[in-house]
Structure 1
Amino acid sequence: MSIGRRTKSRLSGAQWHVSSYSGGNNECVEIACNLPRHVPVRDTKNPSGPVITFTHEAWKAFLTHLA
């Protein structure tokens, strides 16, 4: 997992979409799965705010845990 301002430069090609795991009660996150090395996650209400990035493997493990 990575947090920080340096991450923003690596996100220029990110294609963001609302996670299907969001409950629809205005507590949503957006993810971008199109980047080769990371899956960035951000708050839908604050798209210019902080971003947390995960490796694809860590993101898959997280989704597996939710299932």
Structure 2
Amino acid sequence: MSNENKKDEPDNSFIKNSEGEQPGLVAEFIGFLATNKKYWMIPILIVLLILGALILLGGTSVAPFIYPFF
């Protein structure tokens, strides 16, 4: 009988999880990498972040200090 009562009750775990505090984008992405064991993506992402920073800084007054690296 107790199994029938549990089947009739709705599962509220989704609602309880949605009411909690949401993680940030970076924390959620790190959790994704850890959960799915995608550690090989970390060096690729670091290189992309460095290239993005160089592109952004290349259009500013910092550009003359970046050119000697190349």
TM range (shorter): under 0.3
Structure showing the higher helix proportion among its residues: 2
TM-score in terms of structure 2 length? 0.27
Structure showing the higher strand proportion among its residues: 1
Greater gyration radius: 2
Greater RCO (CA < 8 Å, at least 6 residues apart): 1
